[in-house]
Amino acid sequence: MSQARAASDQDIEHAAQVLLRGGLVAFPTETVYGLGADAEDPRAVARIYAAKGRPSNHPVIVHVAPEADLDYWTRDVPAQARALIDAFWPGPLTLILKRAPHVDAAVSGGQDSVGVRCPAHPVAQRLLRVFAALKGGHGGVAGPSANRFGHVSPTRAEHVLAEFPEQVAAGMPVLQGGPAEVGIESTILDLSRLQEGVGPVLLRPGHIRPEDIARVLGRLPDAPDAAAPRASGTLKAHYAPSTPLELVDRATLEALVVGVGLPAGSRCVVIGYTPRPLEMDPALTWQPVSADPAQYAHAIYSLMRELDGRGYTKILVEAPPRTPEWDAVNDRIGRAAAAFRPA
């Protein structure tokens, strides 16, 4: 746990007032820390995009309190969405639904849909409830991950402080909430095209797995199609550290640990989930991580940030198994590695 105190009622009240005035607030969720703004204020949402360096056509997710009225934010909440909400909210599941006409297109990158999620973190819920009360009952916070666009997502408040020093110096509140419990971003499920006979469609894997969704809906979600809505965190290259990162299979790794194929003068670190080899080239450092996919997901972003600051030439990641329980992890580290592959 972070040694800093958890956000107080006064901290949350102040943050809600900042949101009301059109400012930015960083807040914890169970997935990662978010960079939030009033979802109904296009100028405030534009400040998110500017701070992150995020393309304006890349949508953000609207976070709402548990008792929020989704009919305010959407044109239609199908029965499938209600069933998933009952099963998984509050929690790490984002639903893509048709956007209500009065909700500005800034939150959806100009699309006619909107991503909505109810986070489980108690600090996030307190912030959303206080902000909704200030807004007359319908406040929502647009909140992508609190990092520069394409970089590793933050799982601790100190990651946000390091990522946005100028905004923090200018008064942006960063609400403390300890380490994120899940550690990777939410599952994103598109339900916006059910009336057209399309869906549900899994746009981004996460802690809520296709099998979990199937237990509620009676069927597995489809893979994304060419007409699927754009969604947060689904670009080919994303979640990347500054240090070059490469995925390596076990055979390649076994050669590298004895020095075969290592560039002269390199200093590399291996993130490995299998036992450390008994003999290793001195140019390599072995960084163990859990072989349990949920624990791996919880640790990987924080570990990547930590290793990024140690002056390594390259971060080598032992490729996890290609099994369903590893899909979300493979998605994130695969996009991180893609940032360093030739186009």
pLDDT digits (tens, 9 = 90+) for 160-217: 999 999 999 999 999 999 999 999 999 999 999 999 999 899 999 999 999 999 999 9
Closest by CA to 288, choosing from 135, 280, 299, 142, is 299
pLDDT score of 343? 64
Domains observed in the chain: 9-217 (3.90.870.10), 245-339 (3.40.50.11030)
Query: φ and ψ at 7, to 5 degrees?
Result: -60, 130
Residue 334 CA to residue 272 CA, distance in Å, equals 15
pLDDT score of 4? 60
Binding-site residues from annotation for L-threonine: 31, 117, 186
CA–CA distance from 78 to each of 40, 74, 84, 227, 269 (Å)? Answer: 23, 10, 10, 20, 48
Compute and round to an integer the Cα radius of gyration of the chain: 20
* Alpha-carbon torsion angle 192, 195, 198, 202, nearest 10: 30
Which DSSP category does 282 fall into? T
In the chain, helix, strand, coil percent, each to 5? 35, 15, 50
Q: How confident is the model over 223-277, as pLDDT tens digits? A: 999 999 998 887 778 889 999 999 999 888 888 887 777 777 889 999 999 998 8
pLDDT score of 86? 98
Residue 318 confidence (pLDDT) above 90? yes
Residue 119 CA to residue 97 CA, distance in Å, equals 17
Closest by CA to 186, choosing from 278, 273, 261, 88, is 88
Which DSSP category does 196 fall into? G
DSSP string, 38-99: ETT-HHHHHHHHHHHT--TTS--EEE--TT--HHHHBS---HHHHHHHHHH-SSSEEEEEEB
Binding-site residues from annotation for ATP: 54, 63, 145, 153, 204, 239
Residue 2 confidence (pLDDT) above 50? no
Tokens 């108690």, residue located = 122
DSSP, collapsed to helix, strand or coil, labels residue 188 as strand
Q: How confident is the model over 298-312, as pLDDT tens digits? A: 999 999 999 998 999
- The pTM for the full model equals 0.95
Crossing angle for the helix pair 9-20 and 122-134, to the nearest 10 degrees: 50
DSSP string, 115-149: EEE----HHHHHHHHHHHHHTTS---EE--BSSST
Residue 193 CA to residue 199 CA, distance in Å, equals 6
Closest by CA to 293, choosing from 253, 252, 322, is 322
User: Taking the chain, what is the end-to-end CA distance rounded to the nearest angstrom?
Assistant: 39
DSSP string, 98-112: EBPTTS-GGGGTT-S
Binding-site residues from annotation: 31, 54, 63, 117, 145, 153, 186, 204, 239
- Beta strand pairing status for 314-318 and 268-272? parallel
pLDDT score of 1? 35
Q: Quick one: tokens of 143?
A: 């909140």
* Confidence class for position 289, pLDDT limits 50, 70, 90: very high
Query: φ and ψ at 91, to 5 degrees?
Result: 170, 180
